[in-house]
Amino acid sequence: MNEAVLNILIADDETPARNRLRELLADIPGTRIVGEAWTGLDAIALCEENRPDVLLLDIRMPQMDGMEVALHLQKMEHPPAIIFATAFEAHAVQAFDLNAIDYLLKPIRLERLANALKKARALLPAQMEQLRQLRSARTHLSISERGRVLLVPVAQVVYLRAELKYLTVRTVEREYLIEESLTQIEQEFPERFVRLHRNCLAARSSIRGFERRHGADGEMRWVALLNEIEDTLPVSRRQQHIVRELGD
């Protein structure tokens, strides 16, 4: 994090609230506004583009609320420190569960904002990395595609397949590419996805059965049959217990 100047992104769907934060920050030395977002989706895109040190984040926003934004940002290599700025006191516990630096209630006072930014400035890079790893399960995968950030509901994912440094995310409609670890996805969603092969996870609810078929080497091998799409997924010998567990 820059020791001289804190680069700050403001995310709030209300113009008066953004104006208020802008006015307060003008009175706090060592701060610079690098962008403003009106929606949760814009907040994610601008964080990826501008890599702010701090995100001042509202909770109630269109497209995606602030809690979901915080979950997605923890996936970034260098996530911003998050300070919630909201009118809703009831979300404070959840905010700190998401490792927020502070939780400010509107109307926000200059002293409270300055103290919150002081805490953010004191946060060491090693501590930021630790916070990044303490994440909860998401409800969407954020995917960068042609300069846009797309949100794919995890519930719509049929399977994920590792290919070089990317994962292919398959839904009924289409495929997407993301730069994430298959093991990381497996650990984050153990109840939703099952490993069929070292390079493949499938949604348990998308598997409609198993068949033995001839592989490329002529040997009979198990494959998983999927709901709604014709793709079949090979089951490795190590994972053949899945056939018994899910096939019953």
153-247 shares the fold of 6-133: no
Structure confidence at residue 24 as a pLDDT band (50, 70, 90): very high
The pLDDT of residue 137: 62
- Position 1 pLDDT exceeds 90: no
The domains of the chain are located at: 6-133, 153-247
Q: Helix or strand or coil: residue 134?
A: coil
The CATH number of domain 153-247 is 3.40.630.10:
no
The pLDDT of residue 216: 74
Q: Is the pTM of this model over 0.85?
A: no
For the domain bounded by 6-133, which CATH number is listed? Answer: 3.40.50.2300
Structure confidence at residue 174 as a pLDDT band (50, 70, 90): very high
Task: Enter the tokens of residue 210.
Answer: 């198993």
Q: Encode pLDDT of 94-135 as tens digits.
A: 766 667 888 898 999 999 999 999 988 887 455 555 555 554
Q: Encode pLDDT of 47-85 as tens digits.
A: 988 989 999 999 999 888 888 898 888 777 778 999 999
